[in-house]
Chain A
Amino acid sequence: MANPLYRKNIISIPDFSREELELVVETAARLKAEPSKNLLKDKLIASCFFEPSTRTRLSFETAVQRLGGRVIGFADGGNTSARKGETLADSIKIISSYSDAVVMRHPREGAARLASEFSAVPVINGGDGANQHPTQTLLDLFTIKETQGTLQELAVAFVGDLKYGRTVHSLTQALSLFNCRFYFVAPEVLAMPDYICEELDEKGISYTLAASLEEVIPEIDVLYMTRVQRERFDEAEFKKIQGKFVLHAEMLRHARENMKILHPLPRVDEIDTDVDATPHAYYFEQAENGVYAREALLALVLNETV
Chain B
Amino acid sequence: MQYTRTVEALKEGTVIDHIPAGQGLKILRLFRLAETGERVTVGLNLSSRHMGSKDLIKVENIALTEDQANELALFAPKATVNVIENFEVVKKHQLELPDAIQGIFACPNSNCISHNEPVQSFFYVKAHVNDTKMKCKYCEKVFSKDIVVEVR
- The judgment on whether A and B are partners is yes
Which residues, 113 to 127 on A, are CB-close (under 8 Å) to B? Answer: 113-114, 117
Q: Could you tell me which residues of chain B, from 63 to 83, have a CB within 8 Å of some CB in chain A?
A: none
Q: Does residue A129 face the partner (Cβ distance < 8 Å to B)?
A: yes
Q: How near does chain B come to A293, taking the closest CB pair, in angstroms?
A: 21
Residues of A within 8 A of B (CB): 12, 14, 87-89, 106-111, 113-114, 117, 128-132, 195
Contact A117 B111 (CB under 8 A): no
- From B111, B116, B118, B142, contact of A109 by CB (8 A): B111
> Is B142 within 8 A of A110, CB to CB?
no
Task: Check B109 for interface membership: any CB of A closer than 8 A.
Answer: yes
Chain B interface size, as a band, is 10 to 19
CB distance from B144 to the nearest CB of A (A): 11
Find out whether the CB atom of B113 lies under 8 angstroms from the CB atom of A106: yes
Assess whether B118 is in contact with A129, with CB atoms less than 8 Å apart: no
Contact of B118 among A89, A111, A113, A130 (CB under 8 A): A89
Is B127 among interface residues, defined by CB-CB distance under 8 A?
no
Do residues B116 and A110 form an inter-chain contact, with CB atoms below 8 A?
A: no
Given contacts A88-B113, A114-B113, A130-B111, contact A109 B119 (CB under 8 A): no
- A131 and B137 alpha carbons, distance in the complex (Å): 12
Contact indicator B140/A110 (Cβ below 8 Å): yes
Please state if B117 and A114 are interface contacts (CB–CB under 8 Å): yes
- CB of A14 to closest CB in B, whole Å: 8
Residues of A within 8 A of B140 (CB): 12, 14, 109-110, 113, 131-132
Interchain nearest-CB distance for B145 vs A (Å): 15
A87: which of B116, B139, B141 is its contact (CB, 8 Å)? B116
A300 to B111, CA, bound (A): 31
Interface residues of B (CB under 8 A from A): 109, 111-114, 116-119, 136-142
CA distance A113 to B112 in the complex (A): 11
Evaluate contact between A114 and B111: CB separation under 8 angstroms: no
A109–B138 contact, CB under 8 A?
Answer: yes
- Residues of B close to A195: CB separation below 8 A: 142
Q: Flag if B119 contacts A114 (CB, 8 Å).
A: yes
If A109-B139, A110-B138 are given as contacts, then 7 extra A-B residue pairs at C-beta distance below 8 Å, sorted by A number, are: A87-B117, A87-B118, A108-B111, A110-B113, A114-B138, A130-B111, A132-B140
Tell me the bound Cα distance from A87 to B119 in angstroms: 11
- A117 to B114 CA separation, bound complex (whole angstroms): 12
Give complex CA distance A249, B60 in Å: 76
The answer for the CA separation of A89 and B119 in the assembled complex, in Å, is: 9
C-alpha spacing A174/B144, complex, angstroms: 24
Q: Would you call A108 and B142 a contact (CB within 8 A)? A: no
The closest CB in chain A to the CB of B139 belongs to A109
Compute how far the CA of A10 lies from the CA of B26 in the bound complex, rounded to whole angstroms.
Answer: 38
Of all chain B residues, which has the CB nearest A193?
B142
Cα A104 to Cα B117 in complex, Å, equals 17
Contacts of B112 in A (CB 8 A): 108-110
Known: A88-B117, A89-B117. A129 touches B111 (CB 8 A): yes
